[in-house]
Structure 1
Amino acid sequence: MKNWEGLISAEDRTKIYVRKFIPDHPIAVVQIVHGMAEHGGAYEKFIEYLVHQNIAVYIHDQRGHGKTAKNEDDLGYFGDKIAWDQIAKDIIYITKIIKEELSVPLILFGHSMGSYLSRRVVQLDGELYDGLILSGTGFDPGILRKLGVFLSGSESFIMGAKGRSKILDFLTFGNFNNHFKFPRTKYDWLTRDEAEIDRYIKDPFCGFICSPSFYRELLNGVGIIHRKEEVRKTPTNLPIYIFSGSKDPVGQNGDGVKRVYELYKNLGCNDLTMKLYDEGRHEMLHEINKEDVYLDVKTWIEQHVLSS
């Protein structure tokens, strides 16, 4: 077993915090791309499970997140003039490091914002990967997203690039708890597991409000990955597994997830799997039935990546 964590230099020399977990005899490697307002350290239990199955894991704290952020003021801020595709290219940069260090099948795993970025990554350089797993993804909300892009520009002008946009935060997440009766916290939409919600609340690297420039790039990025000409860049021979909770507001309670599935189906992807977990919420890796979710991920990797 070989573990390592520390800072590496991205292509533009920005320091990116990376964690590596490599069993003695890895059969595959999963590169995890975390979601918005969280970090790589939040995936500890899932990583332990994968490593126990002899699957290596690499995960980095994205710009403006976790230990990549230089200080608290940098949380929720990608950086000066850092566009969506640069964040995606950070992922590709780390992918190439992984391929230099390990000669086993490589699966890209993206959750929430990380799922949108992973969808962009396989549009830019999909041949690098042997599989794609999307957790907690969703479809383009259209007019609402465009409104968010407009507001992010206004908010940036008013409060500056590193301001904290409570308006955009509310427009993005404000109604997510409305689907659930008597919520205990404002984060109940994440999972039914109260212990996991408490962990999230106590974690200083989780749940922060992001900057207007962050929202601008995220919302623009969601638009980019749904353009027909960009969707067509996805390799149709890439095995794809999409999973989510049936009560995940990010995936419009399953409807948005189904639309993503249909997007890839209509493209002609020939190895496409989708699973909606009944009553599950946004973070299925932290749900009350997370062991079942872990097992399903492992089984999919065995059947769709390692058996090919």
Structure 2
Amino acid sequence: MLHEVSFRSFNERDEVQGWIYVPAAKPKGIVQIIHGFGEHSRRYLHMIVAFLDAGFIVAADDHVGHGKTAMVNDTWGDWGEKGCHTMMEDEHTLKELVCEKYPDLPYFLFGHSMGSFIARDYAAKYGDDLAGITICGTCGVFRNADVAEEALKKAVEEGHGKECNPEYAGTLLGWMCERCGEIRIGNEWICADPYVQTDHAEDPFDAFTKPTSNQAMYDFTQMMSVITGIEWAKKVPTTLPIYNIAGDQDPVGEYGKGVYEVANWLCDTGHNVKTRLYSGYRHEIHNYNAIKGDVEQGIIAFMNEVLEK
């Protein structure tokens, strides 16, 4: 069964487009997939099917400025004026909609890349409502974020928030192909498979090739800022199980260093966190044919282990 849902964004402007996938069997839990920057939730169909087959209801939406939500509202790359918690609060609204239809089931989050930032922000505010979270392709202290944040803040304060200056994105993200050899498209850092790269670049629901406003880019740096360090980890309930996964050639996680920074912030504040790095793989470990089944089964095993306790 598939429910299509629409709800008012926290930004008080957009109607967020979402989906609830229900297995043709008695569900044992719910997992909400939170997609990353410049993409959309249908890029996770393989994972959605794996979760359905494992007995989980799956919820997902397209963030403001992204995917079908951007198409419906004509707001590509524009996230609104309500700041860096907008997408997190939208994910909370989606969870409430799902729980109205399917109450009293254990609720998990899976967040990839920017989606992992959102999941971490969510856990700091609403973590008591969750059974567990998986963060995939996350970051610790993100390289150049402080420099880009300062420049973007200045641009927004000077009235250039609605404009798009690619120099800021270059400062923040331009280094990420440094280990990728020959650069053909500019997104090679996501996955070594050229078919995944092309699919990502040519997807009409994908915002990768569309401009992002200076205000949205500033909010993006703020999203990283609010989930950095011990102070963030202290806000996450220590009872919340966390599964932290990434490729060890992922620049977002500084090739493993940033992934372990997050794990250490959590461990140092008394959390139960399991970390796994996939050796030799870049950002989208769930899109490599060789390992995506293993990645999905690892997440399912984590959720099943939580349910068994």
User: Is contact 1:169-1:209 (8 Å) kept?
Assistant: no
Distance (whole Å) between structure 2 residues aligned to residue 101 and residue 122 of structure 1 = 22
| Residue in structure 2 matching 1:255, options 257, 264, 274 | 257
Q: Amino acid of the residue matched to residue 89 of structure 1?
A: E
Query: Per the alignment, in what secondary structure is the counterpart of residue 177 of structure 2?
Result: helix
Q: 1:210 is matched with which residue?
A: 212
User: Is contact 1:247-1:280 (8 Å) kept?
Assistant: yes
Distance (whole Å) between structure 1 residues aligned to residue 158 and residue 138 of structure 2 = 31
CA RMSD of aligned residues (A): 1.9
Query: Per the alignment, in what secondary structure is the counterpart of residue 69 of structure 1?
Result: helix
Shift of 1:163: 2.2
Deviation by residue 1:131-179 (Cα, 9 ceiling, x = unmatched): 010000001237x322211211344467833322211221222111111
Query: Per the alignment, in what secondary structure is the counterpart of residue 225 of structure 1?
Result: coil
User: Is contact 1:155-1:165 (8 Å) kept?
Assistant: no
| Residue in structure 2 matching 1:297, options 296, 299, 307 | 299
Distance (whole Å) between structure 1 residues aligned to residue 294 and residue 252 of structure 2 = 21
Give ranges in structure 2 of 5+ residues lacking alignment. Answer: none
User: Is contact 1:284-1:290 (8 Å) kept?
Assistant: yes
Query: Per the alignment, in what secondary structure is the counterpart of residue 138 of structure 1?
Result: coil
Distance (whole Å) between structure 1 residues aligned to residue 31 and residue 64 of structure 2 = 20
Q: Amino acid of the residue matched to residue 173 of structure 1?
A: L
Q: 1:33 is matched with which residue?
A: 34
Query: Per the alignment, in what secondary structure is the counterpart of residue 140 of structure 1?
Result: coil
User: Is contact 1:29-1:104 (8 Å) kept?
Assistant: yes
Q: Amino acid of the residue matched to residue 9 of structure 1?
A: R
- Alpha carbons of structure 1 residues 71 and 16: separation in structure 2 relative to 1, 3 Å: closer
User: Is contact 1:37-1:205 (8 Å) kept?
Assistant: no
User: Is contact 1:135-1:242 (8 Å) kept?
Assistant: yes
For residues 14-163 of structure 1, the aligned pairs below 5 Å read: 14-24=14-24, 25-70=26-71, 74-79=75-80, 81-102=81-102, 103-141=104-142, 144-156=144-156, 160-163=160-163
Deviation by residue 1:224-249 (Cα, 9 ceiling, x = unmatched): 22254442110001010000000000
Distance (whole Å) between structure 2 residues aligned to residue 204 and residue 168 of structure 1 = 24
Q: Kindly report structure 1 stretches of 4+ aligned residues shifted beyond 4 Å.
A: 70-73
Distance (whole Å) between structure 2 residues aligned to residue 7 and residue 97 of structure 1 = 10
Matched, 1:7 2:6: yes
User: Is contact 1:17-1:60 (8 Å) kept?
Assistant: yes
Q: Could you tell me the TM-score, scaled by structure 2's length?
A: 0.92
Shift of 1:90: 1.2
Q: 1:232 is matched with which residue?
A: 234
- Alpha carbons of structure 1 residues 163 and 205: separation in structure 2 relative to 1, 3 Å: farther
Distance (whole Å) between structure 2 residues aligned to residue 72 and residue 17 of structure 1 = 10
Distance (whole Å) between structure 1 residues aligned to residue 129 and residue 302 of structure 2 = 19
Comparing 29-38 and 150-159, the one that deviates more: 150-159
Q: In the comparison of the two structures, how many residue pairs are matched?
A: 303
Q: 1:278 is matched with which residue?
A: 279
Give ranges in structure 1 of 5+ residues lacking alignment. Answer: none
Shift of 1:31: 0.5
- Alpha carbons of structure 1 residues 10 and 74: separation in structure 2 relative to 1, 3 Å: closer
Distance (whole Å) between structure 2 residues aligned to residue 50 and residue 15 of structure 1 = 26
Query: Per the alignment, in what secondary structure is the counterpart of residue 108 of structure 1?
Result: strand
Distance (whole Å) between structure 1 residues aligned to residue 153 and residue 74 of structure 2 = 19
Comparing 85-94 and 117-126, the one that deviates more: 85-94
Distance (whole Å) between structure 1 residues aligned to residue 146 and residue 125 of structure 2 = 23
Shift of 1:300: 1.4
